[in-house]
Structures are given as structure tokens and as C-alpha cells.
Amino acid sequence: MAEAIANATTAKPKAAKETGIEFNNAFSCFEVPEAVRTATTQWIGQTQGNLEKAFSVTGEMSKMSEKVWSAAAKSTVESAARMAEAMHQNAIAGLDFARDMMAVTSPAEAFEISTTCARKQFEAFAGQNRQLWSLSQQMAIGITRPMTDAWPKAFQPISPV
């Protein structure tokens, strides 16, 4: 009995041509029409091609993700450094204002110092805002560039099965 099963699973059909695909399974004792064999061979070839494309796309997307996260990390570090620098400058300006106000002798002098400090702080804030806005734009460009480069390659048509 065991020999009959072994022969049935390893025997090729009598009318089988060599197609590059072995039909060694439990159903190999049945005759398979040549048209089915050809269609199956084509289907397997297309499926293998599509799998290779899918693996390629996965690799491309992995590289793209790595570039995106690298750019985001670099931009985040730079943004944090610029914000820390701005906070330092603002703290120094606040301390300078407090020192100048301690030396005030009249209300007119206090008003003048207050007005001058407010103008300087507004200009400093505007400059800091421009720097951070510029940095945000560079960050957005740095993050989206790898994606815009990778998307067209990733979505090449896959042949229908």
C-alpha cells in the first residue's frame, strides 16, 4: 500500500510535457490538459514577477521611510536648538529689563525704558518667528522630498494575474 502511494505521488502523468513545473502532488495520477498546464505555468510566472515587484517596492519604501525619519530627527534637533537659543535670548532680555527698571528714578524714565524694551522684544520675537518658520519649511521639504521621489517608483503597474 505504501508503495502505491509513493508511486502515485512521484509519478508524472503519461502525457505530461516538461514545462519547468513539477506536478508532484497527490493529484499527479490524473491527466491534466495541456491548456490548464500552460495557463498554470503562465499564472505562476506572473505571480512570481508580481512578488518580485512587491519585494522591490517594499525595499524602496523602507529606504524612503529611513530617509524621512532621518530628516525629521535632524530637523527636530535643529528646531530644539533654535528654540533653546531664543529662550536664552528672551531670558537675558527680561533680566536686562528688570535691571534697568531697578535704576529708574521717575515715571517718565520707567515709561521710556518699558517702551524701548517692548519694541526690542517685539523685533526679537519677529526675527525668532521668521527663523523658526524658515526652519519649519525646510523641515517639511526635507521630509517630503524622499516621499515624492519614491512614490512614482513604488506604484508602477503590476501585471494582472
Q: Parse the chain into domains and list their residue ranges.
A: 67-154
Q: Give dist(CA 11, CA 115) in Å, integer.
A: 99
Q: Collect contacts of 148-153 with beta carbons under 8 A, ≥24 apart.
A: 149/64, 150/60, 150/61, 150/63, 150/64, 153/57, 153/60
What distance in Å separates the CA atoms of residue 111 and residue 107, rounded to the nearest whole number? 6
Each residue's pLDDT tens digit, 82-107: 999 999 999 999 999 999 999 999 99
Q: Does the structure show a pLDDT above 80 at 161?
A: no
Average per-residue pLDDT in the chain?
80
Q: Are 62 and 150 in contact (CB under 8 A)?
A: no
Amino acid identity, position 145: R
Give the pLDDT of residue 81: 93
Tell me the whole-structure pTM to 2 decimals. 0.57
